[in-house]
Structure 1
């Protein structure tokens, strides 16, 4: 946000100490500590209120973590997942395929070596 590294921060503190002076520095440090405490309390209250208002949404946030996203696993699970008979019957009724013909194929997918 401010793009200040550690060395620049120390220089800012030294300049602030020189400008403020040794007499007023403890009072300003105390005000800064109070401000930081109030900010932490405000953030904590905001988190608590947000959790109370949203409640349990039934979302598994760990499963949606992008660091755990593996497209190969998702495709493999989707291809190996056996659809339920109700979904298979509903899908065959929509498409117009007889239920016997809508059985899942067994074996590898056909390969066309002339396809581009």
Structure 2
């Protein structure tokens, strides 16, 4: 979670207990959990809205697919695959069978 190891998490928890104080720490953790829950729901809602608004063909879209580099390379590869398949068909058709000569 966030690239934090167990020891680092314990150190942060101890620092929070010292800075905030043991009497306010339970309320702070409750508020933090509520904030994280709201952010998670907001992100899920935005992802859902994005999938709905993109239309058909994008139902299986994941957030990692929205990386511009991956998005462009995927669509370029798809566009280039069709002509390459046609070129291979033409090459196969153009080969001369030595037995026919």
Instruction: Give the match for residue 38 of structure 2.
Output: 38
Show structure 1 runs of 4+ deviating over 6 A: 58-61
Aligned residues: 74
Q: Which ranges in structure 1 are unaligned for 5 or more consecutive residues?
A: 65-73, 84-102, 108-116
CA–CA separation in structure 1 for the residues paired with 2:11 and 2:38 = 26
CA–CA separation in structure 2 for the residues paired with 1:27 and 1:104 = 77
Instruction: Give the match for residue 82 of structure 1.
Output: 89
Instruction: Give the match for residue 54 of structure 1.
Output: 54
Rg larger for? 1
Q: Any idea what the Cα deviations from partners look like across 1:17-65, whole Å, max 9, x if unmatched?
A: 122111101110110011011011100110011001111236987xx9x
Seen in structure 2, the aligned counterparts of structure 1 residues 35 and 22 have a Cα distance that, compared at 3 Å, is same
After superposition, the CA RMSD in angstroms is 3.4
Q: Normalized per residue, which structure has more helix?
A: 2
TM-score, normalised on structure 1? 0.49
Instruction: Give the match for residue 105 of structure 1.
Output: 95
More off after superposition, 15-24 vs 4-13:
4-13
Matches of residues 16-27 of structure 1 in structure 2 within 5 Å? 16-27=16-27
Q: Which ranges in structure 2 are unaligned for 5 or more consecutive residues?
A: 62-69, 71-80
Counterpart contact for 2:17–2:25, Cα < 8 Å: yes
CA–CA separation in structure 2 for the residues paired with 1:106 and 1:15 = 78
